[in-house]
């Protein structure tokens, strides 16, 4: 069997949008009922996707606002980002937009696999503040993948982490194809 592929991703987003709930549901298999607000925690899980086995480290952050600085540990050695907002909180959507700007400033434009996640889509329609289309358009403008989910759903939580693994492969492949062309 091929060697286990190691991937490390960071979850970013405004506090309380559901970053920990998504990570814990995926890693531990249940939606946490009374999880303490995160300072910072790294969760690990080994899983098989297609014919590959992955060891995924998920850095679950305390959350950011417009004044947060991202430490170097969120930049170096990181393969991809899961940027989360809540569909019931337009401010969290604005913060997600700002976080992308900060990431581009720190990392440059190339090779940045991102999944933009609109969480809490199980909440009643009247609580919605961000339309699905707005999320989709923002992700498109970043060249990122987009998912709208609920951390209460086991399938949704898994889908996010599968998607970021796929995005990392896709972006790395397009980067190496581009490099090949430069030397033709």
Q: Using CB under 6 A, which of 12, 17, 56, 138 touches ligand GDP?
A: 17
Give the residue, chosen from 148, 152, 159, 172, that forms a contact with ligand GDP under the rule CB under 6 A.
152
Q: Please state the closest distance from residue 173 (CB atom) to ligand GDP, in A.
A: 31
94 binds ligand GDP per the rule CB under 6 A: no
- The interface with ligand GDP within residues 50-79 (CB under 6 A) comprises 63
Least distance to ligand GDP, CB of residue 172, Å:
28
- The SS3 of residue 70 is coil
With 0-12 / 13-18 / 19 or more C-beta atoms within 10 angstroms meaning exposed / middle / buried, residue 127 is exposed
157 binds ligand GDP (CB under 6 A): no
Rounded to an integer, what distance in angstroms lies between the CA atom of residue 91 and that of residue 42?
Answer: 26
Residue 153, SS3 per DSSP: coil
CA distance 79 to 148: 22
Q: Residue with the closest Cβ to ligand GDP?
A: 18
């Amino acid at each position: 069997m091929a060697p286990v592929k190691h991937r490390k991703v960071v979850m970013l987003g405004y506090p309380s949008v559901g970053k920990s709930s998504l990570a814990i549901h995926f890693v531990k298999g249940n939606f946490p009922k009374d999880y303490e607000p995160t300072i910072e925690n790294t969760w690990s899980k080994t899983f098989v996707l297609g014919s590959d086995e992955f060891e995924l480290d998920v850095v679950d952050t305390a959350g950011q606002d417009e004044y947060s600085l991202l430490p170097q540990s969120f930049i170096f050695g990181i393969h991809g980002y899961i940027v989360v907002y809540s569909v019931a909180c337009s401010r969290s959507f604005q913060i997600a937009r700002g976080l992308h700007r900060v990431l581009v400033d720190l990392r440059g434009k190339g090779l940045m696999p991102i999944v933009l996640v609109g969480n809490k889509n199980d909440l009643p329609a009247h609580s919605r503040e961000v339309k699905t289309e707005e999320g989709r358009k923002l992700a498109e403008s970043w060249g990122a993948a987009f998912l709208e989910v609920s951390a209460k759903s086991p399938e949704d939580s898994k889908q996010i982490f599968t998607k970021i693994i796929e995005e990392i492969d896709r972006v790395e492949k397009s980067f190496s194809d581009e490099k090949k062309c430069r030397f033709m």
